[in-house]
Amino acid sequence: MKIIKWMVVAVSALVVLLAAAVLLLPHVVKVQKYKPQIEKIASDALGRPLVLGGEIKLSLFPWVGVSLTDVRLENPPGFREKDFLTVQSFDVRVKLLPLLTRNVQVKRLALEKPRIFLERLKNGRGNWEGFGGQKDKKAAGKREHRKSSAAGEGTSIASLAVGEISISDGLIRWEDHASAETRKVAALNVRVRDVSLDKPIHLELSAMAEGRPVSVTGDVGPFGNVPGQGTIPLDVVVEALDRLKLKIKGKVFNLASKAEFDLLLEVAPFSLRKLFASLERVFPVQTADPKVLNLLEMRARITGGAADIAVSEGVVKLDDSRLACTARVSEFSRPNIQCSLELDQLDVDRYLPPAAEKAAPPATGEKSGPVVKKTGKKPEEAGKASAAEHKFDYTPLRRLLLDSACRIGKLKVHGLQLENVVLKVTGTGGRFRLDPLTCSLYQGTLSSTGMFDCRQDVPRSGLELQTKDVAVGPLLKDFLHKDLLEGTLASQVSLSMSGDEPETIKRSLNGKGNLTFRDGAIIGIDLVSMVRNVKSGLGLGEKTAAKPRTDFAELLAPFTIVNGLVKTPGTTLKSPLLRLNAAGWADLPRERLDFRLEPKIVGTIKGQGDTQKRSGLVVPLLVSGSFSSPKIQPDFKGMINDNESLKKIISGEGNTDEEIKSIKRDLKGLLKGFSSGR
């Protein structure tokens, strides 16, 4: 019994001595004496000077506590700021005895007025580079391997409890000497209270970014007893500039190993224009409609990890348009993109730049005639020259794998109105395929396939297009804002081209096609009236309420294109009392044209389906000049050369009096209203 009694007394005395030592040690040991050694050890570890300007306070029981003031981590030589980091005060307190059982209890971890100064020199060097000093690479590699292994195994903590983590009045400043750019985040405050591993952690963060408020609030966790392993729930709200509000809700998995996530993102409705106005910045986009970009709202579920990202339940609302989307991206170094988009409606014209003032028309003194290129170079040489002047980097497209599909309910582009648009684009290795593109177009249909090949520096592209029963009158009014033609259009067109600039494309354009117009009219020219009065037939006489027009049953226009030169050797028109043949060319690069039209008055009102040869008075018509200012005039010389009766009258060959009188009446009708000068 005495032995037990003395053992109890000895243990009690030992406990008292240890408690006394713990309590008295911070007062007996002069920690300030070891400050130079502490600064040196820390400086060697960080690779740059660490200065502890204030007093070091140490406590051991019941909380292991360290308090520092005036902490400064200096910059390497060459930077304008002396310090990389300053902290007015740092205070941490951890309970001692629970650490023996892997129970971490932190009373307080507080930073007051931390200042971080990020600086990049003109040569691109940043003051955040070079931490750690010169280390033995082999030893560092071994430590990294051990660290990775440990991360994979996980470090078990029985429990964690933190009373408070706080950052008060922090500052982060960024300065780039190369671009003379300066950014600042001030009044940074962070508050986290009642932290544990088995309960959600409530986070509150606020700051002033460039003088404008930013805040983050929400719950994170619980983290579990093995931090970095398992599932971590998130429910966070980010607000910025009093206009942006982002909600993030979901889970992240296995942060310490193969990190993955499953998050629902929601961006509350906001105005891009008002956002830039609040930033006191000029809105970067000029649009034809100043009311657009005033409503943007987004929602999507994003899942994935380091290897791939998937978007589902995606919805974007932009002004009056709503886009639903799903997508998946993998193999980021060689992006493999699969996406499906569904858009209800979009008026692209509202988002295009405002219409520019019309440029001065080209000089009309230039001699007409088809020319391949003013410099004399061949089209393929022109393409190479253009590529040298305008280098577009197609490398990202060559690495891309794409499988995309899109549906659009209503689409307006450059005045054209399309409905029920369906398109699919696939591609790999720099070669992309459009197959198909279909849509409803002005009471008719359009279908197309195409390709784009950018495996070489000068890209090549091609298009196959068919239309059926398209109302061409409304189409031209919407697209060209001109009343030129009426009727329904059926067409088959095949085109190929190279280059990525308009001029190069026009000079390299090749192809062929057929355009068939039925039951329509040519607006602005009355070919039948020309026989009686050429001037009024061309719309040059006295103005009337109704525009001149030539009704037709069928207009066929076959064409070929060689290096931007469009030729039509046999365009024909069938109309009551009229047949018309046309031939000529249009030079797309030079925007010049030269056509000859041969209308013929016939003795029948039959139009479409008429295959009989008809006789009548031929009145040739010449169309020449530029695209913007075409010239239309009758070809009197051709009219005489092509009409045997007129030749006989001029040559004096034998004709009956009645034949001569009839032809003279026709000539008077043709020349009526023209002055002697014309």
Residue 541 placed within a domain: no
Identify which of 338, 151, 325, 161 has the alpha carbon closest to the alpha carbon of residue 255: 151
Residue length of the chain: 678
The residues that bridge with 594 in the sheet, in sequence order, are 585, 624
Question: For the chain, what is the domain count?
Answer: 1
The residue range of the domain holding 54 is 20-128+156-196
Residue 36 placed within a domain: yes
Identify which of 627, 663, 620 has the alpha carbon closest to the alpha carbon of residue 534: 620
> b or e along 90-115 (b: 16 or more beta carbons within 10 Å of the residue's beta carbon)?
bbbbbbeeeeeeeebbbbebebeebb
Q: How many CB atoms lie within 10 A of CB 449?
A: 16
Tokens of 545: 């309420």
Residue 590 placed within a domain: no
DSSP string, 395-429: HHHHH-EEEEEEEEEEEEETTEEEEEEEEEEEEET
**For residue 471, what pLDDT is reported?**
95
Instruction: Tell how strand 336-347 and strand 401-413 pair up.
Output: parallel
Tokens 């992309």 belong to 432
**For residue 535, what pLDDT is reported?**
47
**Contact 591/622 with Cβ under 8 angstroms?**
no
DSSP string, 163-222: EEEEEEEEEEEEEETTTTEEEEEEEEEEEEEEEESSSPEEEEEEEEETTEEEEEEEEE--
Residue 319 placed within a domain: no
Residue 326 placed within a domain: no
**For residue 27, what pLDDT is reported?**
53
Distance (Å, rounded) from C-alpha 237 to C-alpha 115? Answer: 26
Q: How far is CA 29 from CA 21, 22, 57, 58, 170, in A?
A: 11, 11, 11, 10, 33
Using DSSP, state whether 362 is helix, strand or coil.
coil
Distance (Å, rounded) from C-alpha 576 to C-alpha 527? Answer: 11
pTM of this prediction?
0.71
pLDDT digits (tens, 9 = 90+) for 209-230: 888 899 999 999 888 777 778 8
CA atoms within 13 A on the CB side of 554: 13
CA angle 356, 358, 362 (to 5 degrees): 140
Centroid of chain to Cα 425:
16
Tokens 């001037």 belong to 535
Residue 32 placed within a domain: yes
List, for the chain, all residue ranges whose pLDDT scores fall below the cut of 50. 2-25, 28, 135-137, 147-154, 358-376, 379, 382-388, 531-532, 534-541, 605-616, 652, 670-678
**Contact 79/134 with Cβ under 8 angstroms?**
no
Distance (Å, rounded) from C-alpha 129 to C-alpha 108? Answer: 31
- Tell me which long-range contacts 245-253 makes (C-beta under 8 A, separation of at least 24): 245/270, 248/218, 250/301
Q: How far is CA 377 from CA 246, 381, 592, 593, in A?
A: 57, 6, 19, 21
Please, is 207 exposed, middle or buried when counting C-beta atoms within 10 Å of its C-beta (0-12, 13-18, 19+)? Answer: buried
Tokens of 528: 């039948």
**For residue 629, what pLDDT is reported?**
83
**Contact 533/479 with Cβ under 8 angstroms?**
no
% helix, strand, coil for the chain, step of 5: 20, 45, 30
Instruction: Tell how strand 159-176 and strand 103-120 pair up.
Output: parallel
How high does pLDDT run on average in the chain?
A: 79
Residue 201 placed within a domain: no
Outline where 201-303 has alpha helix (H): 272-278
Q: How far is CA 506 from CA 10, 68, 148, 511, in A?
A: 103, 73, 59, 12
Tokens of 42: 């820390």
Tokens of 162: 């933190």
CA angle 30, 36, 40 (to 5 degrees): 140
Residue 61 placed within a domain: yes
- Give the amino acid at 87: V
**Contact 455/410 with Cβ under 8 angstroms?**
no
Distance (Å, rounded) from C-alpha 607 to C-alpha 603? Answer: 11
Q: How many CB atoms lie within 10 A of CB 51?
A: 16
